[in-house]
Amino acid sequence: MSKRIAKEPEADKPNKDSLFPDFDTGLIPKRKYKRIEHPIWTENKAQFISSYLKYFVQITKHGVYIDGFAGPQSFHNPESWCASLVLSSEPRWLRKFYLFEKSAKGYEALRKLADAESDVFDKNGRPVSRRIQLFPGDFNRKVDQILRSSKVSQGEATFCLLDQRTFECEWDTVERLAAYKKAPQNKVEILYFLGVGWIHRAISGVHDEKVLRRWWGGKDWHIVKEKTAAELASTFRNRFELELGYKLAVPYPVFDSKYGNRIMYYMIHASDHEDAPALMVRAHGKAVRKPLKSFQQSLAL
């Protein structure tokens, strides 16, 4: 696919046409997209991710889905379970699923989900051939089982969701995922959740500094304490682009309506594919329509 070359914005002038002008680095060409005007709620983040993957496979016609922390985070709200939504999504062109979970309860839920989704048919009634492989244990220790075994080929479009619980995903793991694909292939597309809403409080509750070193990827993790949520999002965006070499990384804020519309997460989308940003904006629009409709209905009561 041909690459588009555009004039880089001047360093002292923010690019007002980009998705998030405050985060522009000027390192890559920026395409124009409609600005995001409504927040994504935590209860709709799974819909956001599954919608994006649905749109993207319509371009690739195939794909591999890796979920490092795949167990349900809320057993009382199945609509918030991303693995379940992705597995049931149409068209069923994602054919390889590698799902990791270290908790016994989460793994048992995954096992039942895999059993239910293994023998399925497409919308035309034809059987779908797919591989759903489960890995019990720590994703950081287990991910090499698929990377070193070449279960993911270089030419397959590959998506990795890292919906971690604060400090679960080690930066070394992200580095290995980013380095797996070799040029001219696109890198593994990463959707990385950064829990900024409680991160400073969470740091104070960690008694083993090694946990924070592994999560951050170095001894200088202390700088996290000095940064605001937006600054952290900008820092991680730069790390994906400068350290890991992604052509584009964009942080999407995820709010929680239960806490006064406070930003709880940033979902950082790192991709080499030139169509990815437009598809992500489209998926965002679908994710926010449901809460907006509910809000409008409440006003009519």
147, β-bridge pairs:
none
Reading across the β-sheet that carries 64-67, which strands appear in turn? 40-41, 248-256, 262-271, 189-194, 158-162, 64-67, 96-101, 131-136
191, β-bridge pairs:
161, 269
Q: How confident is the model at residue 135 (pLDDT cuts 50, 70, 90)?
A: very high
Average pLDDT rounded to a whole number, residues 227-235: 96
SS3 159: strand
Q: Is the dihedral of CA 86, 88, 93, 99 positive or negative?
A: positive
H helices present in 73-196, as ranges: 82-87, 104-118, 139-142, 144-147, 171-180
Domains of the chain: 34-300 (3.40.50.150)
The string of pLDDT tens digits covering residues 38-66 is 678 888 889 899 999 999 998 988 899 99
The answer on pLDDT for 2 being more than 80 is no
Q: Please state, in angstroms and rounded to a whole number, the distance separating the CA atoms of residues 257 and 197.
A: 12
pLDDT at 198: 93
Q: How confident is the model at residue 8 (pLDDT cuts 50, 70, 90)?
A: very low
Q: What percent of the chain has pLDDT over 90?
A: 60
96, β-bridge pairs:
64, 131
Instruction: Give which of 9, 7, 17, 22 is closest to 237, Cα–Cα.
Output: 22
H helices present in the chain, as ranges: 45-60, 82-87, 104-118, 139-142, 144-147, 171-180, 199-204, 209-216, 229-238, 276-300
Least confident of 123-127, 228-232, 253-257: 123-127
The string of pLDDT tens digits covering residues 147-176 is 988 889 999 999 999 999 999 999 999 999
The string of pLDDT tens digits covering residues 70-129 is 999 888 887 889 999 999 888 888 989 999 999 999 999 999 999 999 888 877 888 888
